[in-house]
Structure 1
Amino acid sequence: MWPKLIIFIVLVAIVEAQHHAEEMQHNSNSFSFELKHRHVHVHRFNNNRPETQHERFKDLLHHDIIRHNITCHRLQTRRRAGEAVSSAPSIELPLNPGSDLGIGQYITTLKVGTPSQMFRVIVDTGSDLTSVRCRYRCSKRAGGGSGDCSMKGRINGRRVFHAPLSSSFRPVPCSSERCKVELITLFSITTCPTPLTPCGYDYGYADGSVARGVFADETVTIGLTNGRKTRLRNVLIGCSDSYQGPVFNNVDGLLGLGNTKHSFATYAAEKFGRKFSYCLVDHLSNINATSYITFGASRNPVKLSGNVRRTTLELQALVPFYAVNVRGISVDGKMLEIPMKVWDVTQGGGTILDSGTSLTFLTDPAYQAVMEALTMSVSKYQRVKLDAVPMDYCFNSTGFNETLVPKLIIHFDDGARFKPHWNNYVITVGGGVKCLGFVPARFPGVSVIGNIMQQNYFWEYDLAGKKLSFAPSACS
């Protein structure tokens, strides 16, 4: 009997050791999404893509203005609702730069359900709901009719997540406190015909776009940076059976990376060290250029070309956005005369970083001061007015000397300084024309540090330590 008992104990120990090793393996890795800017691989998905740099620039501005209206609208809505405004584990997702999207400038792919189905989604640090185009009332039987949720079925040529075919799909009941209280900020619908009816939502956007569907907990499959795969279970997703408006044209959904308890970023960061980071390559760079957003510590961290600086992340100031405390802006070493109310959330101002906005928006008092300081350096070049581009200052860049561009620095309250590359704010728009890459916004209102200003910098969001770290990098 003793030999058998010893063998049994040894086997149990081996199984436990393997299980522990698997857990340690999971906890010692990260995952990344590959990001592509929507102007890079758009030709694969949209025949009406912008062909020239000028057209691309107009397209970016068009979406930026919609985006800023959405941002202000959401913050006003939440304020009216009384809302407050090392070797860690990690995962990595590729980000695709993409020009066919209604909002957000970067796209990636996401695997949802069991068995998993792949979707092309907008990556958005300003949204808290992860949603996919979905059908949840269809039949499991493939009959070819309108109620057929065959795996190969599509709606108007779009990929569709067929919820009844996923064994891990768990609708949130409309009778639950979660639906009636927690999800109210995600525009949950309070009507509840029966206790088991799925909790619905009616998610509206400032440009008139609307997404309607039901909330569910679902499994998302991701690839770890060590080459393995793992499943993130009970991820809150929106199963959207109705989209109206331009927001989700030519994509299958949205990956919400906003600063709320319900976002994918918060969920993934909790599992992988409570940090996420990204480094965005120049949107005009080679078509094969790839950016990544990483949850946890990257196995192959990007090389930095300067010192790491850190400033406070204000996670409660302008929810669901990631806010920072700006003290001011200097040009060529001189602090500009900008009223402090521009940066003060309590006086209707504030500043956020946003991956879904291309250019940098400054409210009027800051915008006027920055533009006045920068235009002096380029006044020797012939001024150009571009059609349908609401940029105040563009110029003929023939013979342009980049060494004449004054150094712009954004100063934070705690002494940290962000020194963007000159071509992140003097932007090439094609046809021998450059523009000062700022857009005016009304005050009271929020200023936005857009993704072009963030390019060729490494950014790490430490949600546990409430710190934003950044350093110059070629993102490789």
Structure 2
Amino acid sequence: MLSFSSSQLLVALLLIIYVGSILVSSHSREVTGRQDYIGASLLPSSHPEKATGRKSTLPVIHRDGHSHPRSSSEQSRDIVQIIRLDNERVAFIQSKFRGVDQTLSSGKVRLGAILGAGNYVVNISLGTPKRGLTVAFDTGSALTWTQCLPCVVSCYRQVNLIFDPSRSSSYRNVSCASTTCAQIASGTSVPPSCSGSTCLYGIIYGDSSYSNGFFATEKLTLSPTDKINNFQFGCGQDNQGLFGSLDGLMGLSRDRISIVEQTASKYGRIFSYCLPDTSTPTGYLSLGAGGRSSAAFTPMLTLSEPSFYGVKLVAINIEGKRLPISPTVFSRAGTIIDSGTVITRLPRTAYRALRTAFRQAMRRYLRARPPPGLILDTCYNLRRSINPHIPSVTFTFGGDVNINLTRNNLLYTISRSCECLAFTGNSDDSSMGIYGNVQQLKFEVTFNLPRRQIGFVPNSC
């Protein structure tokens, strides 16, 4: 059972306020966003384990998946906000591969991963007795964290009750002298602090959101039969930002503190997910082997930033015709696959070739003007078109893996009268390419770290 002395709480409070003041003062600009309310009662009660044959499978919905109907103007404003946050996430990821130091003006704290706005959520439980939580999962982040009472500094509003470690018999603080504490920096880019003998973490996201608190271990429950003891997580005492009403974050990157590595002995460093689209509101996240036998696997590459999942993009075809893009365009930049980036980023040369061919194939349809400030530049009004012919697009990855994209993978809906090509070009051909989650919709994507493979199966949720 957790207990804090008054002196420990005071020291922790001072440290958290100190770290938080650095973060906030260095990011004074305001970023506003819609509050998304996703709680346990909003996820489907049925469990997809029977369909996939794996016992550690969690239902997945988009963080906006339950939202009430919105007007066209409201939806457009939301999309602009989502894309803006997506741009910030991409800028940070690409800066890491360029070797740009994201040190804040204070020189003391580095930016952590970018949460962004394109997240999907699952339900988990922490503690003994267990407390249900709804968290975003992210292949670009390592640390799993949630808000914790007593919220020594500040907690944002969430739908579920905030986790109270004092009511759990399995909660333990991590010692500041332990190797576990020292590993935090690899997953947060922020060195740990200490409150007496207790390890403290801090992480700030590119949109100025942040979480600070105690680094601890707890019993993690994924399903009635799957429990992980001594799971390392952040117990946030000071949390603010654009998290909506989510209870926290689950990190799935290749890092020592991610859930993938922490559960390696149980699930073998293998996980899969299927992100739902509007026609199928529920997908799944599975930890462990047992994916579909029909998966086509491409090699998983380890790039200069090894926590990300690299893939080798070889070619793009439209209507069965290979675009005139030199393979060196893709190999120079490199490509990662990311669950939290919305819009796929391509080398400038590759995007221009795709855009030109797509526009030519769609020349019979009415073009639409996207909202101001949107990076998407190839949009159509298909509202009155009956069964419009959307050109087929195929991405070819290493290992001769061909990914055939459907309309929902190609067009991003801004409003009922505006659908845009869900790709954009980088500023040059040397910036990292990112295969985003629009192109992953309804595919089962399997990450097999021991075999260094990433698999794809279409129409899986």
Q: Do both share a fold (TM > 0.5)?
A: yes
**Cα deviations by residue, 1:324-375 (Å, 9 ceiling, x for unpaired):** 111121222333233545433xx4x221222222332223222211111101
Q: What's 1:86 paired with?
A: none
1:277–1:295: 8 Å Cα contact kept in structure 2?
yes
Q: Answer yes or no: is 1:233 the counterpart of 2:229.
A: yes
Residues 1:199 and 2:202 aligned together? no
Task: Give structure 1 stretches of 5+ with no counterpart.
Answer: 1-27, 44-49, 83-100, 139-145, 148-153
Closer, same or farther in 2 for the Cα pair 1:377/1:36, shift >3 Å? same
Q: Which of 116, 119, 127 is the aligned partner of 2:130?
A: 116
Identity rate, percent: 29
Question: Structure 2: which 5+ residue stretches go unaligned?
Answer: 1-52, 102-114
Q: Secondary structure at the match of 1:380?
A: coil
Whether the 8 Å CA contact 1:269–1:295 is kept in 2: the answer is: no
Residue type of the partner of 2:283? S
CA deviations 1:291-320 (Å, max 9, x no partner) are: 11111245xx77x9xx53211012455433
The equivalent of 2:217 in structure 1 is 217
Structure 1 residues 37 and 56: CA distance shift in structure 2, 3 A: farther
Is 1:363–2:347 an aligned residue pair? yes
Match of 1:417 among 398, 402, 405: 402
Q: Which residue of 1 aligns with 2:456?
A: 470
SS state at 2:324 partner? coil
Q: Name the amino acid aligned to 2:188.
A: L
- Asked if 2 retains the 8 angstrom alpha-carbon contact of 1:215 and 1:239, the reply is yes
Quote how far apart the aligned CAs of 1:257 are.
Answer: 1.3
2:420 to 435, 456, 466: 435
Q: Secondary structure at the match of 1:40?
A: coil
Alpha-carbon deviations, 1:153-209, whole Å to 9, x = none? x87565322222222222222223332356444244454453x1x222221112222
The match for 2:62 is: 37
Change beyond 3 A, Cα 1:427–1:387: closer
1:136–1:164 CA contact under 8 A, matched in 2:
no
Partner of 2:23: none
Cα contact 2:187–2:256 (8 A) shared by 1: no
Q: 1 CA distance for matches of 2:263 and 2:193?
A: 31
Q: Deviations over 1:4-45 (max 9, x none)?
A: xxxxxxxxxxxxxxxxxxxxxxxx9621111111222134xx
* 1:255-283 per-position Cα deviation (integer Å, ceiling 9, x unaligned): 1112222111333354124321122232x
Q: Do the aligned partners of 1:54 and 1:431 also contact (CA within 8 Å) in 2?
A: no
| Residue pairs, 1:6-405, within 5 angstroms | 30-43=55-68, 51-52=70-71, 55-56=74-75, 58-74=77-93, 76-77=95-96, 80=99, 103-135=117-149, 156=157, 159-180=161-182, 183-192=185-194, 194=196, 196=197, 198-223=198-223, 228-246=224-242, 248-282=243-277, 284-285=278-279, 289-297=281-289, 308-344=295-331, 347=332, 349-388=333-372, 389-398=374-383, 400=385, 404-405=389-390
Q: Does residue 446 in structure 1 map to residue 440 in structure 2?
A: no
Count of aligned pairs between the two proteins: 393
SS of 2:438 mapped into structure 1: helix
Normalising to structure 1: TM-score of the pair?
A: 0.74
Partners of 1:441 and 1:402 in 2: CA distance: 32
Question: What is the rounded CA distance, in whole Å, between the counterparts of 2:352 and 2:77 in structure 1?
Answer: 22
Residue 417 of structure 1 and its aligned partner are, at CA, apart by 1.5
Contact 1:339/1:365 (8 A) holds in 2 = no
Structure 1 residue 392, shift from structure 2 partner = 0.5
**Separation in 2, partners of 1:369, 1:122:** 34
Deviating runs (4+, > 6 A) in structure 1? Answer: none
Q: CA contact under 8 A between 2:446 and 2:455: conserved in structure 1? A: yes
Q: Confirm or deny: 8 A CA contact 2:308 2:336 kept in the other structure.
A: yes
2:245 aligned partner, one-letter code = N
| CA contact 1:218–1:233 (8 Å) conserved in 2 | yes
Q: Is 1:104–1:122's contact at 8 Å kept on the other side of the alignment? A: no
Q: CA RMSD in A?
A: 3.1
Q: Which residue of 2 aligns with 1:456?
A: 442
Task: Check the 8 A contact 1:110/1:118 in 2, yes or no.
Answer: yes
Aligned mates of 1:38, 1:54 — CA distance in 2: 20
Between structure 1 and structure 2, the one with the greater Rg is: 1
